[in-house]
A and B are shown apart, each in its own frame.
Chain A
Amino acid sequence: MAFLNQWAYIGGSIILILIGLFGVLTRRNLIKIVVSIGIMDTGVNLLLVSLGYVNGGLAPILTAANNTNNLNFVDPLPQALVLTAIVIGVAILALALSIVIKIYEHNNTLQIDEIRGLNL
C-alpha cells in the first residue's frame, strides 16, 4: 500500500498523458483531437502537482493553528507552476477550437480525411 500511496498519483497522471497522446494520434475528428489535447494538458498538470505532494502534508499556509515552518507542508511551487500552465493550456484550446470553427466554415466537415491538406 505504501508503494501505491507514493506512486498512484504520478502513475495515474502519466497514464492520462498517454491516453491524450493516443487520442491525438488516432482520432479522425478535429473536435476529438482538441479534446485529447485537453486531456494531455490535464495529465501533465496533475503530474506537476503530484511531484510536489507529500504524503499526509498540509496546505502550505500559515494559520493560527499551524504557525511554524516545521510542519509537514506540501511543496507550493509546483502548484504555482500549474496555475500558469492551466492558463496557457486554456488559451491554446480556445485558439484551436476557433481554428476548428474556421476550418468547418470552409469545408463543412470535421473529418480530417475529407479536408484537403490535413493528413496528420
Chain B
Amino acid sequence: MNPSLLIALPLLIAFLIPLFAKLHKKLPNILVLISTLLNVVITFSLFNAVMENPLIIKLGNWNIPYGINLYIDKLALISLIIISVLTFLIAIFNLRNIGELDQAKFNSMFLLAFAGINGIVLTGDIFNLFVFIEIAAIATYVLATMKRKDSYQATFKYIVMGSIASVFLLIAIGFTYSSIGSLNMAVIARSAAQLNPSLLRVITLLFLVGIGIEAELFPMNLWIPEVYSKSYVGVTAFLSGVLSVAGIYAMLRVYFTIFGNSGLYIYLTVIGAITLILGEFIAYQQENIKKMLAYSSIAQMGLVISVISLNSIGSMQAGLFQLLNHSILKVLLFISAGLMTYAVGSNKIKDLAGLGKKMPIAGLGFSIGALGIMGIPFLNGFVSKMMILQNTLGLEKYFITGLILLATLIEVAYYLKVIQTLYFKENVLKVKQLFPCVIPVGILSLTAFYLGIFPQSLLNILNQVSSQILDNSNYIISILGGI
C-alpha cells in the first residue's frame, strides 16, 4: 500500500471527526481506533519490502531535487511501528473517558498530532520536516489544554518554548538552504562536507535547540513537568512515548544522515549527560507521581541521546533498543499511574497507598514498568541497560558509564519508594474497575516480558539499522543514484 496514506488517512479522518460527532457521541473514539489500526496494518504490510530496499515515494511525481520525497528505510520503519502501535494502544485507553474531555475535539487533535508525527518520520525534505513538526506541535498544544483548569498555564509555557524552538529551527533551515541551495536531505548530505566548519557548528547547534523540544532535551524541556502533570494522562503517555520517538528520530536524521561524519556528536553527548543527571536528581525529590514520571522520562531521553552519540554500531544499537523500551515502559507507567490517580482523585504518591491490592492490573502494570526502567532481569530494560554498559565500557567512556550507574541507583530509589507505597500499606477506599483501559496495560506488560526474554530477533534488525544510520552514503545513493 502507498505509504503516503500513513499521513493522509489520519489527516482526513481528523477533519471528518467533528462532522461524525454530530451523528453519534461514540463515533469519534471508534474512528480514531479504526484509523490508528489501519496505520498499524499499513506499516506492517511495508515490512518485507523495506527490509530488502528502502522505499522512496515521489509526491506528485516530481523528480527528486525539485519535489518532496518520502523515504522509508529500516530506521523509519522501526520508528513507525513503535509510533503506530503505541498510538493504537493509547486510543484503546481513551475509549473510556476518564478525563471528562470533549471527545470530538480531543480525538480530532489526537489524530492531527499522529499525522504530524508520521510526517516527521517519513519526510525527506527539511522544510517539510519543519512543517510536520509544527503540525504535531500545534496539535499537542491543544491536546495539553484538554483538561482545562490549570492546564492552561502549563500549555502557555509550552507554546512559548515551542515557538522559540521553531524560530531556531527555521533559522537553521534558512542557513542550510542559503549555503547549499537545496532543501532535500540527500542533496544536503552530499554537499555537507564542503560547508564552512564554523557555519556547520552554528547550524547543528540551532537544530539541536529546534528539535530538542520534541526530543525532551535539556535547554528546551522546562515545559515538560508542568504539562505532564497538569494534562490528561492519555495525552501525557502520547507525548512521552510517541512524540519523543519522533524527536529522537529527527535528531538522528539531522546529526547522522544530513550532517554525518561531521564529528559534532560531542554536543549530543554533553547535552544528553546534563539532561540525564538533572532529570534523575529532580525526579527523586518529587512527591507528585506524574511529575516524577515526567522527570524520569526526561532523564531517559538524555540517556538515549548520550549513548547514541558515541558513534559506534554497538552503542547505536543499544541506544535505539533503550529508546524502544523506554517508549513501551513509559506508556505503561503513565497509563497505569493514570488509572490509579483517577481512582483516588489525587496525584500525590502517598495517597496511592495500598492501591496495588485494590487495582491488581494497574498496580502490576506500574510495577512491571518501574522494574523494567530500573533494569531488572527478564524485562526488556535489563537487556538494553546491559548493552549500554557493555558498550560504554568497551569504548572506554568511563565517565558516561559512571553517570549511567549513578542514574540507575537514583531510579531504583525513587521507583521502589512508589512500589512500596502501592503494596505494603493498607487502603480502605472503594475503587472503580475501569474495563477497556486495562487492555493496553496487559498488552504492554506482556511485550516488556517478551522483549526481555527473546530480544534476539529484534536486536538483529536493530544491528542492521545501526550500521545503516552510521553510514549516510546508503541514504544519498538510494535517493540520488550513484552520482
A contacts, CB < 8 Å to B: 17, 20-21, 24, 30, 33, 37, 40-41, 43-44, 47-48, 51-52, 77-78, 81, 84-85, 88-89, 91-92, 95-96, 99-100, 102-103, 106, 115-118, 120
Min CB distance, B251 to chain A, in Å? 21
Contact B156 A30 (CB under 8 A): yes
Bin the interface of chain B by size.
20 to 34
Contact A92 B138 (CB under 8 A): yes
Min CB distance, A7 to chain B, in Å? 13
A85 in complex: contacting residue of B145, B170, B230, CB < 8 Å: B170
Contact B131 A100 (CB under 8 A): no
Q: Supply 11 further A-B pairs (C-beta < 8 A) apart from A37-B160, A48-B174.
A: A40-B163, A44-B170, A88-B138, A88-B166, A92-B166, A95-B138, A95-B141, A96-B156, A100-B156, A103-B153, A116-B150
**CA–CA, A30 and B167, complex, Å:** 19
B56 within 8 A of A: no
**CA–CA, A84 and B138, complex, Å:** 14
Contact B154 A78 (CB under 8 A): no
Min CB distance, B140 to chain A, in Å? 11
B127 within 8 A of A: yes
Contact B127 A92 (CB under 8 A): no
Contact A102 B162 (CB under 8 A): no
B159 in complex: contacting residue of A21, A40, A41, A92, CB < 8 Å: A92
Contact A47 B145 (CB under 8 A): no
**CA–CA, A88 and B116, complex, Å:** 14
Map CB proximity to A onto B360-394 as digits: 1 under 8 Å, 0 otherwise.
00000000000000000000000000000000000
A-B contact pairs, 20 of them (CB 8 A): A33-B160, A37-B163, A41-B163, A41-B167, A43-B167, A44-B174, A48-B174, A51-B174, A78-B174, A84-B131, A92-B141, A92-B162, A96-B159, A96-B160, A99-B152, A103-B152, A106-B152, A117-B153, A118-B156, A118-B157
Residues of A within 8 A of B284 (CB): none
**CA–CA, A47 and B168, complex, Å:** 12
Contact B145 A99 (CB under 8 A): yes
A-B contact count (CB 8 A): 93
Residues of A within 8 A of B167 (CB): 17, 20-21, 40-41, 43-44
Residues of A within 8 A of B152 (CB): 99, 102-103, 106
**CA–CA, A52 and B164, complex, Å:** 23
**CA–CA, A118 and B226, complex, Å:** 9
B457 within 8 A of A: no
Contact A91 B177 (CB under 8 A): no
Residues of B within 8 A of A103 (CB): 152-153, 156
**CA–CA, A18 and B163, complex, Å:** 14
**CA–CA, A52 and B148, complex, Å:** 43
Residues of B within 8 A of A33 (CB): 160
Q: A48-B170, A99-B145 are in contact. Are A78 and B156 (CB under 8 A)?
A: no
Residues of A within 8 A of B173 (CB): 81
Q: A24-B164, A91-B138, A92-B159 are in contact. Are A116 and B174 (CB under 8 A)?
A: no
Contact B177 A99 (CB under 8 A): no
**CA–CA, A51 and B170, complex, Å:** 12
Map CB proximity to A onto B224-242 as digits: 1 under 8 Å, 0 otherwise.
0010001000000000000
Residues of B within 8 A of A40 (CB): 163-164, 167
Contact B150 A51 (CB under 8 A): no
**CA–CA, A100 and B160, complex, Å:** 12
Residues of A within 8 A of B166 (CB): 88, 92
Residues of A within 8 A of B138 (CB): 88, 91-92, 95
Q: A41-B163, A92-B162, A95-B138 are in contact. Are A120 and B177 (CB under 8 A)?
A: no
Residues of B within 8 A of A96 (CB): 156, 159-160, 163
Contact A117 B177 (CB under 8 A): no
**CA–CA, A114 and B381, complex, Å:** 43
Question: CB within 8 Å of A: which of B117-150?
Answer: 127, 131, 134, 138, 141-142, 145, 148-150
**CA–CA, A115 and B141, complex, Å:** 19
**CA–CA, A37 and B159, complex, Å:** 10
Contact A77 B163 (CB under 8 A): no
Residues of B within 8 A of A100 (CB): 156
Contact A24 B171 (CB under 8 A): no
Residues of A within 8 A of B226 (CB): 117
**CA–CA, A95 and B158, complex, Å:** 12
A95 in complex: contacting residue of B150, B159, B230, CB < 8 Å: B159
**CA–CA, A118 and B178, complex, Å:** 38
Residues of A within 8 A of B127 (CB): 81, 84
Min CB distance, B358 to chain A, in Å? 31
